[in-house]
Structure 1
Amino acid sequence: MNVTIEENRSHPRLPDLLAAYHLLNQAEKGTPVTTVAGLPAVYRAEAEDPATAFAADTVLLATPPGDDLPAGCVVLKAPYEGRAPEIKRLWVAPEARRKGIAQALMTAALRRAAASGAAAVRLTVWNWREEPLALYRRLGFETVASWDERPDLVCLEKPLDAVERLTPEDVRAHASAGLAALLVDAVDGGASVGFLAPLEPAEAAAWWTGVADETERGVRDVWAAQGPDGRLVGVVTLVRAGAANGRHRGEIARLLVHRSARGRGLGYRLLATAEAHAAATGLTLLVLDTQTGSPAERLYRGAGWTAAGTIPDFAADPAGVPRATTLYYKRLG
């Protein structure tokens, strides 16, 4: 099910969604009210004027396919006083539940948090809300020490993968282990990244050693993501055009996320990191190519990239079968 996610704290549907959330919340807490006017002041303000109440925050809405109006919402609160950003007000209208909308909203919120550079995300949930609690645990949230002393409230936190730029020495140090493993995993998973299966770890390591040389010459930049256990779980590289008339341009190459780390917005975060660096260093145009119909296309389209065209039989997949490739570009600034 393809749920449409939009960021809009001023959407006319949002007050109704927030009102329904707060009215049910009050009923579950044993202090029911029948109208928005009866809500505590802080909740009433959110339902009556969410654009003002969440002026500093990210508000996401989800619309199921075929519908005209959003059926769910979530708020990613801006971090303050050094605390991790907090996810709040996750709500899906009863008639639209069990269609993946809540997970789509959470995934989008986690992507926004990761792209902002946050090290973790936190949230609270009443212990009687079994389905939301199960969803949060599936997404990797764990119970932590309470920062809210209200009875029956569970405090959860999810660490986000740390994305760091690698020096040439870093690339060489990781070439035969973490980086090679990422490349082998991608080929084993069917990704068309320039190699045929089976890819031997030694061949993968040799390729990364060459990348270290390019990094040393200033031709390629590399960023890698480490999981909470320190293992490399993702990587992306940015290659700068060498021709004098193309120095405004760069190419995103080898965006890899280990299969065990997918579904938590890491690809989006790696891509956003490379894009931000490209813009900060004067590049105004980025290009890339990816196998037509691959899951990566959804990532690039969702990140604002534009398809420029498709070339049939451009490159063989790991099994050696020629596949079409779609070219993408993105203007920066």
Structure 2
Amino acid sequence: MSGAARVRMLSADEVTAYVEPLADVLIDCVEGGAAVSFMLPIARHRAIEFWERAARSLACGERVLLIAEHFDGQVVGTVQLITSFPENQPHRADVSKMLVRRDARRQGVAASLLAAVEEVAREAAKSVLVLDTATGSDAERLYERAGWQRVGEIPNCGFTPEGRLCGTTFFHKLLSPVHVNAELDL
């Protein structure tokens, strides 16, 4: 973990208390050009609604939410692990919404969040992780440095916040093997 921030998991109850600072991170990233499902101008109420939905999903056990905080308590980044999949994919999870404030980038925050979310996945017996990112983004280099494997790219898959078409690159990472139920014939 970087000396600039500490990473920790939030409970569903805590997310409610962190909706405002999480909205600040999301808005900062979208205003900085991050293609993370939102268009400009991003209304604060939309960012808050997003985090309120995430809190409900967390309460149902469908996801895990990590935050990176400066030691003064300011939230500077976040990442989610989506864990709810069909019964034939109990070993899989998706890494989602890796967000780091622009003023906290290049300080190891994203690498710390990624390492922490991978550890949470291992602890949850997840052995296959999947994520996607905007093609050509700095995030691609981060994932490659962390041992993620590029699967492929879909051109013109989404829009940047400014409304330009952009590609999406998919990655996966295999973690330690999961214990397979003896009843399954694999």
TM class by shorter chain equals over 0.9
1:171 aligns with 2:18: no
Deviation at 1:246, TM superposition (A): 1.3
1:185 aligns with 2:22: no
The amino acid of 2:59's aligned partner reads E
In structure 2, the residue matched to 1:201 is: 44
For residues 46-195 of structure 1, the aligned pairs below 5 Å read: 114=1, 159-175=3-19, 177-195=20-38
Total equivalences in the alignment? 176
In 1: Cα distance, 2:31 partner to 2:4 partner: 25
Q: Which one of the candidate residues 214, 219, 222 is aligned to 2:57?
A: 214
Contact 1:241/1:251 (<8 A) preserved: no
SS at match of 1:256: strand
In structure 2, the residue matched to 1:290 is: 133
In 1: Cα distance, 2:50 partner to 2:87 partner: 26
Deviation at 1:307, TM superposition (A): 0.4
In 2: Cα distance, 1:178 partner to 1:161 partner: 15
For residues 266-277 of structure 1, the aligned pairs below 5 Å read: 266-277=109-120
Deviation at 1:280, TM superposition (A): 1.4
Contact 2:85/2:93 (<8 A) preserved: no
SS at match of 2:45: helix
For residues 14-33 of structure 1, the aligned pairs below 5 Å read: none
SS at match of 1:279: helix
Unpaired segments of 5 or more residues in structure 1?
1-113, 116-158
1:251 aligns with 2:100: no
SS at match of 2:166: strand
Q: C-alpha offsets along residues 31-83 of structure 1, whole Å, 9 cap, x if unaligned?
A: xxxxxxxxxxxxxxxxxxxxxxxxxxxxxxxxxxxxxxxxxxxxxxxxxxxxx
SS at match of 1:319: coil
The amino acid of 1:316's aligned partner reads F
Deviation at 1:160, TM superposition (A): 3.1
SS at match of 1:245: coil
Q: C-alpha offsets along residues 113-165 of structure 1, whole Å, 9 cap, x if unaligned?
A: x17xxxxxxxxxxxxxxxxxxxxxxxxxxxxxxxxxxxxxxxxxxx4311110
The amino acid of 1:313's aligned partner reads N
In structure 2, the residue matched to 1:308 is: 151
SS at match of 1:252: strand
In structure 2, the residue matched to 1:24 is: none
Q: C-alpha offsets along residues 161-213 of structure 1, whole Å, 9 cap, x if unaligned?
A: 111100111111111x2100000011000000000011111110110000000
Deviation at 1:318, TM superposition (A): 0.2
In 2: Cα distance, 1:210 partner to 1:247 partner: 23
In structure 1, the residue matched to 2:168 is: 325
In 2: Cα distance, 1:163 partner to 1:310 partner: 30
The answer to which structure, 1 or 2, has the higher relative contact order (CA under 8 A, 6+ apart) is 2
Deviation at 1:286, TM superposition (A): 0.1
Q: C-alpha offsets along residues 224-255 of structure 1, whole Å, 9 cap, x if unaligned?
A: 01112211001000001421111110000000
1:242 aligns with 2:85: yes
In 2: Cα distance, 1:264 partner to 1:173 partner: 26
The amino acid of 2:76's aligned partner reads V
State the TM-score, normalized to the length of structure 1: 0.52
1:223 aligns with 2:63: no
Deviation at 1:283, TM superposition (A): 0.4
In 2: Cα distance, 1:160 partner to 1:194 partner: 28
Contact 1:195/1:318 (<8 A) preserved: yes
